[in-house]
Amino acid sequence: MQGNSVRVWDLPLRLFHWLLVAMFALAWWSNGHAQHLDLHIFAGYTILALLLFRLAWGFTGTHHARFRSFAYGKRTLLAYLRDLRSARQPHYLGHNPAGAWAIFTMLTLLLAIAVSGLIVLGGEEGHGPLAGFVSLESGIAWHESHAWLAWAMLLLVVVHLAGVVVESLLHRDNLLAAMISGNKRVRDAQPQVGNRRVVAGVMAVAWLGAALATVLPWYRADADHPYQPFPGTTLPDNATWRSECGGCHQPYHPQLLPKRSWQLMLKQQEDHFGEALGLDEATIAELLQFHETNAADHPLMEAAWYINHSLRRDETPLRITETPYWRKTHAAIPEERWRDPQVNGRGNCAACHSDAERNTFSDAAMRLPRPNR
Amino acid sequence: MQHRKMMKMIPLLALLAVPLAHADTVDDLLKGYQAQGAGPFSAEKGKAMWSEQHASTEGGAARSCAACHGENLTSTGKHAKTGKAIEPMAPSANPQRFTDAAKVEKWFKRNCTWTVGRECTPQEKGDFLSYLRKQ
């Protein structure tokens, strides 16, 4: 196409677009890796910040960035889709009506994803602005909505990409190049928008600062000072539990098994996994009381909720490693890793869970040690 | 005023008492075993029993005190089953050892049962303590 090249998308808008792409990809990838929860949260906060920026930029940005410039009605959208292949089609320098509808839908969906993410973070992990306002149960319930919304967003991304391809081919208008350079070729003279470099600079510096603050602590951490970006809640403690149970193994918190398991275990104290504990009545009574009050039946953390809900009512496991939830979450770990001297068996939670001493088993506190070679 | 000064002295006195505490506790325990008809006690016998291997009734590796606590009493041991670190047995390396009679009896009961397959006799306990206290 002959003609002049004019700037259509200002720099902050392009930065918004590509940071959003990168952060959505990072959020998607880190979702499958619980130990990268901090990256997932970082991506989520960035997306929320980008959305707030976009909302403001929709009123204060340059011409084609303003919502008013692409707020097309339903009729315009239908006419655009009907006349897609005809010559009558007017050329849209900014967003075309179909693109505009996709954008408003994606912005709304992303906002819903970000907010539902904050609800999950507050409920399940006890962090973020909604911590304390959302119950553990609500957090877990919202987790699923958060995931479905993300899938819907992925579907829209596909639709958006298809639209970009169609528009680029049909109207010989390279939309991808335009979103990178900011420029489009036009036949007749058109006013071009400013670049707003300062705003883009502030955005870039703010994002880089946040990225560094997220990543740097990992490099300062070592084996003795593990970095825990999202430490879990502080669970109820008991000195007798610590000294008696902690005498032979790490003290597993009552939260990790239901009440009926602890009752059976303490009743069978003369055959505690092959060992006679020989605890006196007063000690047993105190341990029983502590375990009954704080068992998984009343979950105070995510892992406890899942352990309890994975069990049938008639199941009374005596080992945490026998619970379906434990088996499911550890199924991918090959047998030889358990025999690795660094790991030292399934009972040594601390080999991978840096918060094992606190018994919180937060997603973000999980680290697989490097295999010994 | 006088009272307050004395209160301040208590932590200081407690500090002085720690190195002696295990000696007192062990002496009391030994007296108790003697009252049950045991004695005289032999540190040599205690040492021999420490490394004695006992075939496990459930199969698996032979059991001994050293299997978990190690042969070197001044260093940290390791629980044979759970891998948990066990503080040194020697009072010279771990002044908290043998300062609580109830704790000593609890662990004798539990660990003799697991290792030997029965509770230890007052004579055996006396021999063990005579050996361990000097480490």
Which among B63, B82, B97 is the top mutation candidate for probing chain A, defined by the most A β-carbons within 10 Å of its own β-carbon? B82
Which residues of A are less than 8 Å from B84 in CB distance?
Answer: 248-250
Phi, psi of B85 (to 5 degrees): -70, 140
Report the complex ipTM. 0.77
- Contact criterion met (CB < 8 Å) for A348 and B83: yes
CA neighbor of A104 nearest in space, from A77, A85, A144: A77
Q: Exposed (0-12), middle (13-18) or buried (19+): which is B93, by Cβ within 10 Å?
A: middle
- Residue B42 corresponds to which tokens in the numbers above? 């032999």
A325/A308 Cα distance (integer angstroms): 8
Question: Of A71, A89, A72, which Cα lies nearest the Cα of A80?
Answer: A89
pLDDT in tens, chain A (373 residues): 456 889 999 999 999 999 999 999 999 999 977 788 999 999 999 999 999 999 999 999 999 999 999 999 999 999 998 888 776 777 889 999 999 999 999 999 999 999 999 999 999 989 999 999 999 999 999 999 999 999 999 999 999 999 999 988 888 889 999 999 999 988 777 788 999 999 999 999 999 999 999 999 988 888 778 788 888 889 999 999 999 999 999 999 999 999 999 999 999 999 999 888 989 999 999 999 999 999 999 999 999 999 999 999 999 999 999 999 999 999 999 999 998 888 888 888 988 898 999 999 988 888 887 765 4
How many beta carbons lie within 10 A of that of residue A157, not counting itself? 16
Report the alpha-carbon distance of residue B5 to residue B13 in Å, rounded: 12
The helix (H) or strand (E) run that includes residue B86 is strand B85-86
Q: Determine, for residues B58 and A274 on separate chains, whether the beta-carbon distance falls below 8 Å.
A: yes
pTM greater than 0.90 (yes/no): no
Helix H or strand E encompassing B77? strand B77-78
> Residues B107, B114: contact at Cβ < 8 Å?
no
Tell me the C-alpha to C-alpha distance, in Å, between residue A53 and each of A12, A74, A107, B3. Answer: 9, 26, 11, 68
Judge whether B114 is closer than 8 Å to chain A, CB to CB. Answer: yes
Say yes or no for a CB contact (<8 Å) between B82 and A274: no
